[in-house]
Structure 1
């Protein structure tokens, strides 16, 4: 069941802070996803490659357009890996971003 509300973040420009540094701004595309458990094998394999998987979700391929950032519950995640299960579903494996919350 697709019951997890997520937002796909797409970079759509820059703003500047007080000292003139460029800060990216993002457009949010809200949709629903289904959360998957991360298996022991996936977690172990990711750890061997110095990656810590945080979450795995499923979305419809026609809704996902290669975005690298996803927001769930006001937490921003990076898309680490994708896997197309079939023509109706694509799995997204996410790691939590440290710099931007």
Structure 2
């Protein structure tokens, strides 16, 4: 049985405007528990064909996911490449590691 053994931070970008109508991007971080899975062989090779390095799949409760496009897991930044809503109330987030320059 899979258990929620890992903590991840979902990153949501909110665009706000100051009193001068200038846009400002704020990053909100929300911590949730996750199950860590390997990327499936088919997804891995399909990703390679389109220059994606699919590194990890994380499973969280679907009600906690608000279409965030980035997350932090084990001190690494990831971009959410694909989501898959399961019929058990969970959602799979297939991610690519973002290499910071």
Scaled to the shorter chain, the TM-score interval is 0.7 to 0.9
- Alignment match, 1:67: 68
Q: CA RMSD in A?
A: 2.0
Distance 2:79 2:54 in 1: 10
TM-score by length of 2: 0.81
Distance 2:52 2:42 in 1: 13
- Alignment match, 1:41: 42
Distance 1:85 1:12 in 2: 27
Q: Structure 1: any 5+ residue segments left out of the alignment?
A: 15-21
Distance 1:3 1:67 in 2: 21
C-alpha contact 1:9 1:67 (8 A) present in aligned 2: yes
How many residues are aligned here? Answer: 93
